Copies of this chain bind each other. A is one copy, B any other.
Amino acid sequence: MQACIIGLGLIGGSMALSLKKNGFIHRAVGVELNPIHAQKALDLGLVEEVVSLEEGIQNSLLTILAIPVDKGEALISKILDQIPSESVVTDLGSTKYGICKAVQNHPQRGRFVASHPIAGTENTGPEAAFDSLFEGKMGIICDPEVSDPDALELIKSLYLSLNMTLSYMPSKDHDLHLAYVSHLSHITSFALGLTVLEVEKDEKNIFTLAGSGFASTARLAKSSASMWVPILLQNKTHLLKVLDEYVRFMEDFRKGIMEEDHQTLQSLIERANGIRRILEK
């Protein structure tokens, strides 16, 4: 099978590489508007050919969208308008409610499977792609009941071919949960990076004094704006609520420190330690 990969960055590029490696597809064509990325993707062998959107989707039985979530939402109807009737489209973006809503009444809705591989790094572009990115990770499929059974089966086998574990949920729930466990931690990392960079005048001090703890906490601050601004905006409602809750805890810490309230700080940290239950499962 030939797949058309729209967007040849970390996610799209890694998908092309790993699906060719495991034989799920035999050939990948790419759609990529950035000519430098397009050339790089060809040089790196991520795809065999870079083609126009129309050519790519009309000649492939599988189309995989791996572009920023606002672009995916804007494009999905047009793609469903033009694909052959037996073709299947999936989207790998980090928010799912918007794109599902955009095509809820589309006559070809059944050919679309909304999914989200919980995998990524803080790096971007075709050079960041690698063929084991998805290995052993979790894949989420949203609103599976509105996809055609054969389309759903194809995307399920795609994920399973990558040794991924599947989970299913409504797209709305997906976005709420992701606000907590992914989008919030990106914002906290961005704010940490900003605070340290803008206030610590001598970057040598950051480099000298930062231990592995800082590196770990600030790692996500390297993540790309073109990918993350659309995610934050698409998940606005949930994120505003989550941010308020987070800032409230920061204020609790501030008050505890200000008032030298040993007991409150102790209790906050001990409650936070509960994260071990999850991280060490």
Contacts and interface: CB of A to CB of B under 8 A. Distances in A.
Interface of A: 118-122, 137-138, 140, 167, 174, 177-178, 180-182, 184-200, 203, 205-226, 228-229, 232-233, 236, 239-240, 242-247, 249-251, 253-254, 256-258, 260, 262, 265-266, 268-279, 281
A207 B281 contact: yes
A220 B274 CA distance: 12
How many copies of this chain? 2
A163 to B, nearest CB: 16
Chain A interface mostly: helix
Contacts of A217: 185, 188-189, 216-217, 219-220
A210 B275 CA distance: 12
A243 B253 contact: yes
Given A120-B211, A246-B250, A200 B181 contact: yes
Ranked nearest first, the 7 interchain pairs of A and B with the lowest CB-CB distance are A193-B272, A225-B269, A193-B275, A185-B217, A191-B249, A190-B272, A181-B210
